[in-house]
Amino acid sequence: MCDQIKNALLEWHDEIVPVAINFNDSYFSIHDGLAETHYVFLEGNNLPNRFNDGFHVAELGFGTGLNLLACWRAWINSSQSTPLRFTSFEAFPMKLEDMKRSLKIWPELKKLSEIMLNQLEDGWEINTPTLQARIIIGDARKTVPNWTETANVWFLDGFSPAKNPELWEKGLMKSVANHTTVRGTFSTYTASGFVRRNLRDAGFNVERIKGFGPKRHMSIGIKA
């Protein structure tokens, strides 16, 4: 029998930033979630410079879809000739109305969020001439090992490792590495010691760099 899908239970900080009640953590930075996505996930993986035909981004934690939208916009702006491939792994999907409410603070993403939300009404896929995306629902510890593709880049975006340790555990980081192309990379906003150790043990060369805004550090890495 299939596991039943449990939607995210939310409250809102300042009516703007969604917070997952079960994890007691927010989906994006109160300071500027879109700027943080650009810094941590795009610049952290040297995007859009590395984009090329067939490029595949994978993500742990789809959440509001903010990272997907920022990456998709960068792809469109870099005038690629094939669609961006994007696969995200999510255990507790947000209701579409909650995604819409979360994303409305960024008018620059309005057009793409509307396309994304319209398509998600019919299932967890987005297919347009510039994007082929799939959101794989379920616990990433089970779904990533069964995934049959590889990604050039991983956005590791679970809730904070202290509150959501299962999304950073050793076995899952190993599976992420196994599903990364040669010289593929990851980035994450955290520089937590056990996360860096798990990524190193999984086969990445891990580096700690300056974090976004007030955050001291974040991590990036390349498959060794």
Ligand X SMILES: C[S@@+](CC[C@H](N)C(=O)[O-])C[C@H]1O[C@@H](n2cnc3c(N)ncnc32)[C@H](O)[C@@H]1O
Residues lying near ligand X in the complex (CB under 6 A): 8, 27-28, 59, 61-67, 89-92, 139-141, 157-159, 164, 166-167
Question: How far from chain centre, in Å, is Cα 188?
Answer: 9
Give whichever of 6 and 183 is closer to ligand X, judged by the CB atom.
Answer: 6
Token pair, residue 70, equals: 């920022």
Write down the least CB distance from residue 160 to ligand X, Å: 8
Q: Are the CB atoms for 27 and 164 separated by under 8 Å?
A: no
Write down the least CB distance from residue 71 to ligand X, Å: 9
Q: Are strands 217-223 and 151-156 parallel, antiparallel or unpaired?
A: unpaired
Give whichever of 55 and 62 is closer to ligand X, judged by the CB atom.
Answer: 62
Distance between CA 113 and CA 164 in Å, rounded? 27
Write down the least CB distance from residue 9 to ligand X, Å: 10
Write down the least CB distance from residue 193 to ligand X, Å: 20
Residue 224: partners with Cβ closer than 8 Å, 6 or more residues away: 203, 204, 205
Give whichever of 21 and 209 is closer to ligand X, judged by the CB atom.
Answer: 21
Concatenated DSSP letters of 144-213: HHH----EEEEEE--S-TTT-GGGG-HHHHHHHHHTEEEEEEEEES---HHHHHHHHHHTEEEEEEE-ST
Give whichever of 35 and 82 is closer to ligand X, judged by the CB atom.
Answer: 35
Give whichever of 36 and 180 is closer to ligand X, judged by the CB atom.
Answer: 36
Write down the least CB distance from residue 65 to ligand X, Å: 6
